[in-house]
Each structure stands twice: as structure tokens, then as C-alpha cells.
Amino acid sequence: MSRIVYVNAEFVPEAEARVSVFDRGFLMADGVYEVTSVLGGKLIDFAGHVARLERSLKELDMAMPMSAEALLAVHRELVARNEVIDGSVYLQITRGSSGDRDFVFPDPGVTPQTVVMFTQSKLGMAETPLARTGIRVISIDDIRWHRRDIKTVQLLYPSMGKMMAKAAGCDDAWLVEDGMVTEGTSNNAYIVRGNTIITRQLGNDILHGITRAAVLRFAREAQMTVEERPFTIAEAQAADEAFITSASMFVMPVVEIDGAKVGTGKPGALTARLREIYLDESRKAAI
């Protein structure tokens, strides 16, 4: 089905959408993005995604192109026009095109940002059978830049990481720096020991996941203990359970790390409970 996408204040069929070849997002990965999930036609954690967008833009000296209310209206219009029931809305803002290639940032007063949004439909994504089997991950070196807290469109290494995982017959990769897991290629990483959830603390080393924030809040409310600290692959392999979180995977069990089974090799009970709580609460709060 041909989608209606949003490009610089216009809703157009995807085949008619145009961005300049000089766009800095294309030439320099000079842009940020957000992905907001849609369940039952409603947006999940929208306020969190907008807050992180504002932060990413600020860190790169870019302005918010429109108010949070206007962004919400565009998200909703795209969901409605494309009849999305379950899926996501992708949003990307770049520093625009000055009409040439130049390392120097263009004057924002002269060069408008490029704002692109589109939907992806994935009916029934919250009921994916993967959640019942769990995923298998490999570990790879984390060679990304050191501002991973900014959600930029520089996704080459995460893409390569997913290809390395695929080549190894696995689903995804966890990134390791100085012997410690930072996060997954496109998700935050967790291990569980007893009633305790362990995940790396926030900082410049990882993306501040919106799903992470919600899941940790629900975990504490459910009397689980949360420890925010780094862990090794060996500790993860010896843990009772492991999982990842992201806007599109929600809470997804990890059952194998570098060929070693985690716990029983089946999704853990705490992980399953957290996934259920997260989905229930998110659906209730969806807008």
C-alpha cells in the first residue's frame, strides 16, 4: 500500500516525497530521529519521545521545528491517513540543505530544517511469537562515537551489528566496551538475578530509552529491585533471565548470549511479567 508521508509541512504520497541530495542528513548524518509505537491506533509514550527529541536537538544546536502539540497532530494525522492500527511513526529532523556540501553548519535563519515523518504498519506486533521464544544475541565491540545519548541517524554500526548477528544465526547483538555491556544495537540491555533487574546507568554511553524509563518505573512499582550499573557478558550468561527494551520490541526476552543459554534457555517469569505490565499500562496511557 502506498503511504502518505509528511515532508516539510506537506502530506504527500510516498512516491512524491522529495528531499534534496544536499540534505545534511543524507550527506553527514546530521539529524536526529524518534520512533513512537502505535497500538490500537494510539501513540505509546509520546510525551517521552518528544522530550528526548528536544534534548537531542538541543545537544546538536538545533531548534524544535514545531511545538509538541503540532508534532502530536502530525503523528495522529499520519496514523489516521494510513489507517495504522499497530506499528510506528518514524520522525526525522535534519539540519536541512544549504544547497551545497559543506562541513560548516548552515545559518539556521537561512536554511530550514528538513522534517520527515512516515508510518510503518505491523498489525499484531505486541503479540509477536518472538516474545514466547525469546531472542538470541551475540556480543560485539562497541565502536560507536561517545554521544550515544543523542539519538542521531548515524546507524551504520548498529546496522552492521545486526548483520553480524544474522551471519552468526542470531537475532541481535549486545555491544561491549571496556569489558562491560553498554546496550543492544537498537535497544537497552538488562539481566535479572532473583528479584533484581540490572541495567547500565544513564550517561553518554547509551541511549536513554523511553521504554527503559517506563519499564524501570513499573518494575519499582511492582516491588522489583533495580540496580543501575554495568555488567559483563559472563555475568549476563550466568544470570537468571535477560531481556531488552525498545519502543518497537517493548520488553523482549533474551534466551542465549554468545551461544550460552541464559537461565533455562526459555523466557523468564519476571521478564514475561514486565512485558505484560508494560503493554497493559502503555495501552491504558496511549493517546
Q: Which are the catalytic amino acids?
A: 151
Contact set for ligand PMP, span 15-54 (CB under 6 A): 35
- Only segment of 63-71, 220-228, 242-250, 274-282 that touches ligand PMP (CB under 6 A): 242-250
Pairing of strands 196-199, 225-228: parallel
Closer by beta carbon to ligand PMP, 12 or else 35:
35
Q: Which DSSP string do the residues of the chain spell out, in sequence order?
A: -PPEEEETTEEEEGGG----TT-HHHHH--EEEEEEEEETTEESSHHHHHHHHHHHHHHTT---SS-HHHHHHHHHHHHHHTT-SSEEEEEEEE----SS--SSPPPTTTSPPEEEEEEEE-TTGGG-THHHH-EEEEEEE--S-S-TTS-BS--HHHHHHHHHHHHTT-SEEEEEETTEEEEESSSEEEEEETTEEEEPPSSTTS---HHHHHHHHHHHHTT-EEEE----HHHHHTSSEEEEEETTTEEEEEEEETTEEPTTSS--HHHHHHHHHHHHHHHHH--
Closer by beta carbon to ligand PMP, 4 or else 32:
32
Contact set for ligand PMP, span 52-81 (CB under 6 A): none
Q: How far is the CB of 265 from ligand PMP (least distance, A)?
A: 25
Q: How far is the CB of 46 from ligand PMP (least distance, A)?
A: 12
Say if residues 119 and 82 touch (Cβ distance below 8 Å): yes
Q: How far is the CB of 35 from ligand PMP (least distance, A)?
A: 6
Task: Pick left, alpha or beta for residue 141 (phi over 0 → left; psi -120 to 50 → alpha; otherwise beta).
Answer: beta
Q: Does 282 bind ligand PMP (CB under 6 A)?
A: no
Closer by beta carbon to ligand PMP, 207 or else 219:
207
18: number of Cβ within 10 Å: 8
Closer by beta carbon to ligand PMP, 4 or else 57:
57
Q: Does 251 bind ligand PMP (CB under 6 A)?
A: no
Q: How far is the CB of 142 from ligand PMP (least distance, A)?
A: 10
Say if residues 187 and 199 touch (Cβ distance below 8 Å): no
Contact set for ligand PMP, span 180-239 (CB under 6 A): 183, 186-188, 207, 209-212
Q: Does 247 bind ligand PMP (CB under 6 A)?
A: yes
Closer by beta carbon to ligand PMP, 11 or else 90:
90
Q: How far is the CB of 212 from ligand PMP (least distance, A)?
A: 6
Q: Does 152 bind ligand PMP (CB under 6 A)?
A: no
Q: How far is the CB of 110 from ligand PMP (least distance, A)?
A: 31
Closer by beta carbon to ligand PMP, 78 or else 173:
173
Q: Which of 114, 139, 237, 246 binds ligand PMP (CB under 6 A)?
A: 246
Q: Which of 88, 114, 139, 245 binds ligand PMP (CB under 6 A)?
A: 245
Size of the site for ligand PMP (CB under 6 A): 13
* Chain centroid to CA 138: 19
Residues at the contact surface with ligand PMP, assessed by CB under 6 A? 35, 183, 186-188, 207, 209-212, 245-247
